Amino acid sequence: MKNRIIICIALMVLGEPLLGQSPSLNTRDSINVFTQGLFMQTGEWEVKLYNNLYTQIEPQFDNTTRRSSFNSSFLQLTIGSNKNINYGIDLIYKSNVINDRGSSSPFVVFELMNKSLQNIYMGNEFNTNFQHGLTHVGGRVRVKPFKNKRFTFQQAIYVPTGELDEGFIINSDLFYERIIQNRYMLFGNIGAWYPLSGDIFPYARVFAGTLLAKRFGPFVMINLPYEIGAGTKLFISRKIELEFMYTYWLPIEAIVENRRPTSINFGIRLTNFNNF
């Protein structure tokens, strides 16, 4: 269950092709480009498909290794409103591959199988389990709780569909965004992922990024105290955004034990408004 909790954490990132100038930005532009807590106005909407692929390698007593990979795909629709509130509908689709060869590719999760296969490696027999399915349907609300418009609060509740034995999940986030010297972006959030049938998973993330050019925005990330990462956002048009992030979990034994976790995050976002 711990692994499933970890891979559900929907990391959504920062961002803004063409190297050269470093344009200055106004507040609305920077929030569109870099933050997860974007607050939209009446008539505005965004659709986002985001994948979080968590993979880990564990040593075995027979001097071999086993890889387990867990992908969570979030399909999200968020709609603006004139009542200081945004509404969202989410679908979560998961695909897991458990106890595969250590040398296997983590992208095997996208083969989308429900079966158990027997493996033989270096004279050892073991079973590799494949699972996938639509696990949750949920709703979100996003509000500005303070006069300081840099803060946004989001609350989500996810209802299980009966696939992969997943239960109800509550997810709370408080987002913060700030522009420094009209060029650098700082974005953070604290929150918790709380499966009612499992343990609560708190997190505190900080992102920092800048625009190297009009549509290209690299950034770095730290998820205190155990995960670091880097990525970029790339706008192929004013309304279509691609994003990518890779993260590495620091070898803190109390958290990762003897595993070697990493994550690969990628997605696409569409809006009905211009992002720059």
In this structure, which CATH number among 2.60.40, 2.40.128, 1.10.10, 1.20.120 belongs to the domain 2-271?
A: 2.40.128
Instruction: Name the one residue in this structure whose structure tokens are 């992969």.
Output: 164
Task: Answer yes or no: is pLDDT of 220 > 70.
Answer: yes
Tokens of 150: 């840099």
Name the residue ranges covered by the structural domains of the chain.
Answer: 2-271
Q: What is the mean pLDDT of residues 121-137?
A: 90
Q: How far apart are CA 202 and CA 249, in angstroms?
A: 16
Task: Answer yes or no: is pLDDT of 240 > 70.
Answer: yes
Q: How far apart are CA 60 and CA 102, in angstroms?
A: 10
Give the up-direction half-sphere exposure of residue 268: CA atoms within 13 A in the CB hemisphere.
5
The dihedral of CA 188, 75, 4, 251: what is its sign? negative
201-210/216-223 β-pairing:
antiparallel
Q: What is the mean pLDDT of residues 81-99?
A: 93
Q: Is 254 exposed, middle or buried (0-12, 13-18, 19+ CB in 10 A)?
A: exposed
65-79/115-121 β-pairing:
unpaired
Q: How far apart are CA 65 and CA 249, in angstroms?
A: 18
Q: So what's the pLDDT on residue 79? A: 95
- For the whole prediction, is pTM greater than 0.95? no
Q: What is the mean pLDDT of residues 211-223?
A: 86
